[in-house]
Amino acid sequence: MMGRMTQAATVYGCIEAGGTKFVLGLVASDARILARTRIATAQPAETGAAAIGWLRTAVAEHGRFAAIGIATFGPAEVLHASPRWGFMADTPKPGWSGADIAGPYARAFGVPIGFDTDVNAAAVAERRWGAAQGAENAVYITVGTGIGGGAVINGAPVHGLGHPEMGHVPVARHAEDRFGGVCPFHGDCLEGLASGPAIERRWGKSLSELPRDHPGHGIIAHYLAQLCIMLTGIAAPSRIVIGGGVSQTPGLIDAVRRETRRLSGGYFAGDPMDIIVPPGLGENSGLLGAFALARDAERG
């Protein structure tokens, strides 16, 4: 999806705002990624200034944006009716709680702003262009620095009192796991036990660096399979897309499929071997999710 912009193409500014890095992109109306860069996530003002600077350079080269989409790490206020829409909520990321994320871009560029969580945005993108095409109900899970999930139900991303926080659900402990967890709020919730930092704190290496016969592979698969079963029982998705750095560990998604099948006991409709899939958009799920948010904001 890379390429040069034709003269007739409409251009969108896209921001995948992560806890460790911001991925910035310029995307044409046909979903071609025309340019991209990444910057380290520092403090909010510094990070925002760097992102706006890059986008201004993109405007000078390619023309004014029709809209900007921001797919952010959370928790964040994504409900349009809230006076705090576009702001970060309480987050473990130092210095980011209460930060105004969307406002600086609106003031700098004067265009519609789409704003949602990175995982909700990725779920939308995977449903429109990726591995969940044709699914009325689909879920995108990221397993990396944290664990998060976004859901599309009947074709629309889920919002309620806030946005889904799938990484902070309690899970049953694996019989061989005595690790206390790393979540500062809940200790041994799913994120506290199966995120990248939890894996490194427990075993001193990333999951992909552990030997293939290391018990850590089965332990992490056991925890992620429990989330897949919860989602199946609650939302009946026909696709559960698992992305993020930890998910790229060779054999992990297959292990999650097998463990989901084992734990579910054949009760649910569908086969986990077909339902649980890697991202169809690869590393572009988040950036194209921001593009989807921008397109929807433009349309009002």
* Tokens at 89, concatenated: 């909520």
In a domain, 253, yes or no: yes
Sorting pLDDT into bands at 50, 70 and 90, what band is 1?
very low
- Residue 55 in this model has a pLDDT that exceeds 90: yes
Mean pLDDT of 87-91: 91
71 closest CA partner among 24, 15, 9, 126: 15
CA pair distance 191, 226, nearest whole angstrom: 12
Please tell me whether residues 136 and 244 are part of one structural domain. Answer: yes
Same domain membership, residue 97 and residue 159 = no
Does residue 33 belong to any structural domain of this protein? yes
Answer whether residue 1 is part of any domain: no
Please state, as a whole number, how many other Cβ atoms lie within 10 Å of the Cβ of residue 214: 13
Measured CA to CA in angstroms, residue 167 lies from 3, 171, 185, 193, 195 at distances of 35, 10, 12, 10, 9
pLDDT, one tens digit per residue, over 245-294 is 999 999 999 999 999 999 999 999 899 999 999 999 999 999 999 999 99
Please tell me the predicted confidence (pLDDT) of residue 2: 37
110 and 40 in one domain? yes
Average pLDDT for residues 171-199, to the nearest whole number? 96
For residue 240, what are the domain limits? 131-279
Q: Is the distance from CB of 62 to CB of 54 less than 8 angstroms? A: no
Winning range, highest mean pLDDT, from 7-16, 150-159, 186-195: 186-195
Please indicate, yes or no, if residue 295 is contained in any of the structural domains.
no
Q: Are 168 and 190 in contact (CB under 8 A)?
A: yes
Q: Is 164 in the same domain as 274?
A: yes
* Inside any domain, residue 39: yes
Using the predicted structure, report yes or no on whether residue 103 has a pLDDT greater than 60: yes
Q: How far apart are CA 280 and CA 177, in angstroms?
A: 32
Q: Which residue has the higher pLDDT, 41 or 62?
A: 41
- What's the domain count of the chain? 2
CATH number at residue 229: 3.30.420.40
Q: Are strands 156-157 and 147-153 parallel, antiparallel or unpaired?
A: antiparallel
pLDDT tops 70 at residue 5: no
In this structure, are 105 and 138 located in the same domain? no
Looking at the structure, do residues 219 and 268 belong to the same domain, yes or no? yes
pLDDT at 159: 82
Q: Is the pLDDT of residue 53 over 60?
A: yes
In terms of domains, do 115 and 143 share one?
no
Mean pLDDT of the 153-173 span: 88
Using one digit for the tens of pLDDT, what is the confidence trace for 64-81? 899 999 999 988 999 888
Are residue 135 and residue 274 in the same domain, yes or no? yes
Question: What is the average pLDDT across 213-224?
Answer: 98
Cβ contacts of 89 within 8 Å, gap of 6 or more: 74, 75, 76, 77, 97, 98, 162
Integer-rounded Cα radius of gyration of the chain = 19
Give me the pLDDT at residue 6, please: 42
Cβ(287)–Cβ(35) under 8 Å? Answer: no
- pLDDT score, position 63: 85
Q: How confident is the model at residue 9 (pLDDT cuts 50, 70, 90)?
A: low
- 120: exposed, middle or buried (Cβ count in 10 Å: 0-12, 13-18, 19+): buried
Percentage of the residues of the chain whose pLDDT score is greater than 90: 84
Same domain, 74 and 176: no
Confidence (pLDDT) at 13: 97
Q: What's the pLDDT at 142?
A: 95
Residues 249 and 150 occupy one common structural domain: yes
Asked whether residue 144 falls in the same domain as residue 88, the answer is no
CA gap 274, 107 in Å, rounded: 45
The tens digit of pLDDT for each residue in 224-251 reads 999 999 999 999 999 999 999 999 999 9
Among candidate residues 74, 91, 119, the one where a domain is terminated: 119
Burial class of 203 by CB neighbour count within 10 A (0 to 12, 13 to 18, 19+) = middle
Per-residue pLDDT averaged across 141-156, rounded?
A: 92
- For the chain, the farthest-separated pair of C-alpha atoms sits apart, in whole angstroms, at 60
**250 and 137 within one domain:** yes
